[in-house]
Amino acid sequence: MKYLITTFGCQANTADSEKTAEIMESLGYDCADNMEDLISAKNPVLIFNTCSVRQKAEDRVFGLNNKLEELKQKSPVLITILTGCMMHYSEKELKKRLPLFDYFVDIKNINTLPKLLAKNATHKQRSHFIGSILNNDKKKKNKISALIPVSYGCDNFCTYCIVPLARGREISRTVLDIESDVKKAVDNEMKEIWLLGQTVNSYKNGSVKFHDLLRLVNAIPGDFWIRFTSPHPKDFSDELIKAMAECEKFARYINLPVQSGNNTVLKRMGRPYTVGHYKKLVGKIRKAMPDIAISTDIIVGFPGETRKQFGDTVKLFQDIKFDMAFISEYSPRPKTVAAKMFKDDVPHEEKERRKNELNEMLKKNALENNKKLIGKTVKVLNGRTEGNKPIEIDDKYKKDEFIKIKITKANIWSLKGKLL
């Protein structure tokens, strides 16, 4: 019996896919090497974990019908399952548009997979499925990073974002559960712990806030980095900045989404902060950790965004000098406030032009920042620096161990160095 999971979207989706893989392997399934390996198996299961953040991600899934038809002709016993953020659509609509999927499973109910698969199993397999227990202690092979959700869902309801509809309201996990997951990951020799949440720094469980959680994870014995994503500027407290600076295991990198450099656009987006607040926040972070690398998320072409307003985002790029930015063109998401209230009035060509302009500025800033690292010694794991920058190393080294590298050359998106 074999399974294969195709994952679209962010690290939260990847974490969900890892949990799904654990469930499948607890049922006796092996992960297929590729699609050919899967369809040649006796009881193949193909799972698509979907993303709804942008229309392109959904279009890729809605375009799967021909591929699924081909696969089911080759393997009539193939079971296909759709999960993830696209479950915000009704099951009726999904069945209509994706008729070759056998099951549609809300990711929050992924633990029902044993019962679901038992419907298609032989009597011997069925007894095994129903009696199976998820084996979370199973060692993960060839892994360096652990993705550990601290919360699920989101309560912010930015006008453009479908996440609250797709994943529900925010629910924080217990401290004990998170600590247990981190300890298991460290015991399994993971060297990088990612704490995940749609707005990770709004975490609260009882009296424990995110800055407290960061300190608790930092206190767990072991040699590992701590990273987290994605924080919201409105919840980025002074206590969190202090904890980041004082926790020796916190890797000096943060993605801090700003989305726009114009206050009017931010207000229409439902982002409850100003550009001035954001710049002040970045200043505090850099004062506490001068060596930290900062990236951001940007949406260009939001409804009503004028060229002058976009110019404010250009100015923000000039002022902040981000190390990296994830720039996307606005696309209306069904059922969101922006899709209902605002006309998508910025032409596609103009969105592309704005995206390209920011990318050119980003390249200049990234190279300038990277050149400042030449001659410095940095800590590296699996081909990335503590600042999350790719690095090329001439010497042979073990990717699953921390090493020290002296930077010898800087490129736009990467570094080059020598092993010390």
Show the 3-state SS of 53-117.
CCHHHHHHHHCCHHHHHHHHHHCCCCEEEEEEHHHHCCHHHHHHHCCCCCEECCHHHHHHHHHHH
pLDDT at 413 over 90: yes
Measured CA to CA, the distance from residue 282 to residue 89 in angstroms comes to: 38
Of 28-32, 104-108, 122-126, minimum mean pLDDT range = 122-126
Q: What pLDDT, on the 0 to 100 scale, is given for residue 52? A: 84
Q: What is the mean pLDDT of the chain?
A: 91
* Sign (positive or negative) of CA dihedral 328, 334, 338, 339: positive
Is the model more confident about 153 or about 141?
153
- pTM to 2 decimals? 0.84
Q: What pLDDT, on the 0 to 100 scale, is given for residue 269? A: 98
Q: What pLDDT, on the 0 to 100 scale, is given for residue 287? A: 98
Question: Which of 300, 301, 283 is CA-nearest to residue 292?
Answer: 283
Is the model more confident about 318 or about 112?
318
Question: Which of 254, 128, 249 is CA-nearest to residue 185?
Answer: 249
Residue 138 in contact with residue 60, Cβ under 8 Å? no
CA atoms within 13 A on the CB side of 346: 22
Measured CA to CA, the distance from residue 138 to residue 16 in angstroms comes to: 16
Measured CA to CA, the distance from residue 217 to residue 108 in angstroms comes to: 25
Matching CATH number, 142-251, of 1.10.10.10, 3.40.50.1370, 3.30.750.210, 3.40.225.10:
3.30.750.210
pLDDT in tens, 165-208: 888 899 999 999 999 999 999 999 999 999 999 999 999 999 99
Measured CA to CA, the distance from residue 374 to residue 388 in angstroms comes to: 16
| Positions of CATH 3.40.50.2300 in the chain | 2-130
Read off the pLDDT of each residue in 124-130 and give the average, rounded to a whole number: 39
pLDDT in tens, 217-243: 999 999 999 999 999 999 999 999 999
pLDDT at 12 over 60: yes
Q: Which CATH class is domain 2-130?
A: alpha beta
Read off the pLDDT of each residue in 384-406 and give the average, rounded to a whole number: 93
pLDDT at 277 over 70: yes
Of 88-97, 312-321, 342-351, 376-385, minimum mean pLDDT range = 88-97
| Positions of CATH 3.30.750.200 in the chain | 285-372
Query: Could you tell me whether strands 377-381 and 403-410 are parallel, antiparallel, or unpaired per DSSP bridges?
Result: antiparallel
pLDDT at 140 over 70: no
Measured CA to CA, the distance from residue 236 to residue 79 in angstroms comes to: 44
pLDDT at 407 over 70: yes
According to DSSP H, which parts of 160-306 are helical?
163-167, 175-187, 210-218, 238-246, 263-269, 275-288
Q: Using pLDDT thresholds of 50, 70 and 90, give the confidence band for residue 133.
A: very low
Which DSSP helix (H) or strand (E) runs through 127? Answer: helix 123-130
Residue 404 in contact with residue 377, Cβ under 8 Å? yes
Measured CA to CA, the distance from residue 197 to residue 118 in angstroms comes to: 32
Read off the pLDDT of each residue in 129-141 and give the average, rounded to a whole number: 39
Q: What pLDDT, on the 0 to 100 scale, is given for residue 56? A: 84
Provide the CATH number for the domain formed by 285-372 in this structure. Answer: 3.30.750.200
Question: Which of 249, 189, 183 is CA-nearest to residue 215?
Answer: 249
258 — phi, psi (to 5°)?
Answer: -110, -35
Helix 307-320 / helix 275-288 crossing angle, nearest 10 deg: 10
**What residue has token string 């548009």?**
97
pLDDT at 402 over 60: yes
**What residue has token string 């959680």?**
213
Question: For residue 377, what are the CA distances in angstroms to 287, 289, 291, 300?
Answer: 21, 16, 12, 37
Provide the 8-state DSSP code for 7.
E
Residue 179 CA, distance from chain mean position: 20
Q: Using pLDDT thresholds of 50, 70 and 90, give the confidence band for residue 30.
A: very high
Percentage of the chain beyond pLDDT 90 is 77
pLDDT at 118 over 80: no
Q: What is the dihedral of CA 269, 289, 327, 148, to 10 degrees?
A: -80
Query: Could you tell me whether strands 403-410 and 415-419 are parallel, antiparallel, or unpaired per DSSP bridges?
Result: antiparallel
342 — phi, psi (to 5°)?
Answer: -115, 140
pLDDT at 129 over 50: no
Q: What pLDDT, on the 0 to 100 scale, is given for residue 168? A: 87
pLDDT at 122 over 60: no
Residue 221 in contact with residue 185, Cβ under 8 Å? no
Tokens of 191: 């060297």
The reply to whether omega before 230 is within 30° of 0 (cis) is: yes
Q: What pLDDT, on the 0 to 100 scale, is given for residue 136? A: 37
Residue 377 in contact with residue 386, Cβ under 8 Å? no
Read off the pLDDT of each residue in 56-72 and give the average, rounded to a whole number: 91
| Positions of CATH 3.30.750.210 in the chain | 142-251
Read off the pLDDT of each residue in 384-403 and give the average, rounded to a whole number: 93
